[in-house]
Amino acid sequence: MNLREFKLERFLAEYEFRAPYLLCTSDCESVSIGDLLAMEEGAADAFSAIRLGYGEPAGSPALREAIAGLYEGIGPDAIVAFNGASEGILAYMSAVLAPGDHIVVQCPAYQSLHETARANGCSVTPWRMTEQSGSWHLDLDTLEESIRKTTRAIVINSPHNPTGYQIPRRDFLAIAEIADDHGIAVFSDEVYRCLEHPGTGRLPAMADIAENGISLGVMSKAFGLAGLRTGWIATHDTAVLRRVGAFKDYSTICNSVPSEFLAALALRHADALVERNLGIVGENIRLLEGFFDRHRDLFAWSHPAAGSTAFPAIRFDEDVEQFCIRLVEEWGVLLLPGTVFDYDGRHFRMGYGRRDLARSLERLEEAIEAGFCP
């Protein structure tokens, strides 16, 4: 496969583990293994008794049962577990799509959502979001116009990374209908699902509403358990399940057995984990509102509706990538330039799922007060 460099992941690999003030990570605050095991009586003993042999290729029955609990009409047999959502994306784009196929992808996008398809010989039409008067939009007419005879899938992501946009419910249902009318799939990246902010409703899972709907989920974001590297694809389409499962035989064969145990445990307590993380997100959003209010001369933002990221823009005259690199090198504060999403030279991603946001934001304000922004 001729995969181009994953710009976002390369940028994070360079800075994330040495910058002391992280202001752009997309995952929520994690918990320790001990805290997780304490959620259920007997879990610690059961965990230490796990034997470290191979696991079931599609994921352990206990894990798939727990994942199924997140859906209305999806049972354990309609799920294949992966090592992260990342592996699920790679499996779908490599094993379900074929060279010559066409997909339409909501953009800006997490790069693997289009790059893995492109590397497999597919053509990609970006379905571009626009920003108007302080909010993000997606135009359904543009989507319809982008569909061709060779189109196999519409690829969407809501809640959206990086903007924090949530597709309106009516549009989400319309996307399912458009796909069904054309006999094509909707590959719906729902890794930030459950992180809807107050006043934003939760969307149904695409796997529950579209004939060819595929929902991508993961433990990393709303549940704050990225280190488990546990994700999944849920769909009623048995051919898709078979193909992505067969792909996994070549990538990782099975998931990490201890991770499967911990992920299933966490999902049995999903409400508690999500409530905790929504609390952190809510507090952080208030801090960000204050920050953008105080610095409206320097930054503009469209208020996010869901998820754990936002995509503000600088209002001063500097290339945003240079700005982010200067900021992390001189002040240790990490923001993610929009250029890693192939977006313009002004936007940058902020992440607000971590407990230490206040401390990092204070550091950014210190830099601003010292005259860091031109």
Ligand X SMILES: Cc1ncc(COP(=O)(O)O)c(C=O)c1O
For residue 187, the one-letter residue type is F
25 part of the interface to ligand X, by CB under 6 A: no
User: Binders of ligand X among 225-244, rule CB under 6 A?
Assistant: 226, 231
Q: Which of 11, 15, 22, 26 binds ligand X (CB under 6 A)?
A: 26
Question: Phi-psi category of 351—alpha, beta or left, where left has phi over 0 and alpha has psi -120 to 50?
Answer: beta
Q: Which of 85, 122, 310, 324 binds ligand X (CB under 6 A)?
A: 85
161 part of the interface to ligand X, by CB under 6 A: yes
Question: How does DSSP assign 55-117, residue by residue?
Answer: --TT--HHHHHHHHTTSSS--GGGEEEESHHHHHHHHHHHHTS-TT-EEEEEES--THHHHHH
The distance of closest approach from Cβ of residue 108 to ligand X in the complex, given in angstroms and rounded to an integer, is: 10
311, 339, 336, 347: which is closest to 135 by C-alpha?
311
For residue 266, the one-letter residue type is A
Stretch that binds ligand X, among 29-37, 79-87, 273-281, 317-325 (CB under 6 A): 79-87
HSE value, Cβ hemisphere, 13 Å, CA-based, for 248: 28
Contact 125, 114 (CB under 8 A): no
The distance of closest approach from Cβ of residue 320 to ligand X in the complex, given in angstroms and rounded to an integer, is: 19
Which residue, 106 or 302, is less far from ligand X as judged by CB? 106
123, 80, 101: which is closest to 247 by C-alpha?
80
Q: Which residue is nearest to ligand X (CB)?
A: 84
Q: Which of 157, 158, 200, 259 binds ligand X (CB under 6 A)?
A: 157
Q: Which of 104, 153, 191, 328 binds ligand X (CB under 6 A)?
A: 191
Strand order in the sheet with 213-218: 79-82, 231-235, 213-218, 185-189, 151-157, 102-107, 123-128
220 part of the interface to ligand X, by CB under 6 A: yes
User: Binders of ligand X among 125-144, rule CB under 6 A?
Assistant: none
User: Binders of ligand X among 88-127, rule CB under 6 A?
Assistant: 110
Q: Which of 59, 76, 84, 304 binds ligand X (CB under 6 A)?
A: 84
Q: Which of 189, 196, 237, 260 binds ligand X (CB under 6 A)?
A: 189
The distance of closest approach from Cβ of residue 87 to ligand X in the complex, given in angstroms and rounded to an integer, is: 7
86 part of the interface to ligand X, by CB under 6 A: yes
Q: Is 196 helix (H, G, I), strand (E, B) or coil?
A: strand
Which residue, 85 or 117, is less far from ligand X as judged by CB? 85
Torsion angle defined by CA atoms of residues 283, 13, 54 and 190, in that order, rounded to the nearest 10 degrees: 40
Number of amino acids touching ligand X (CB under 6 A): 13
Sequence-separated (6 or more) residues with CB below 8 Å from residue 191: 85, 157, 161, 216, 217, 218, 220, 221, 231
The distance of closest approach from Cβ of residue 55 to ligand X in the complex, given in angstroms and rounded to an integer, is: 18
338 part of the interface to ligand X, by CB under 6 A: no
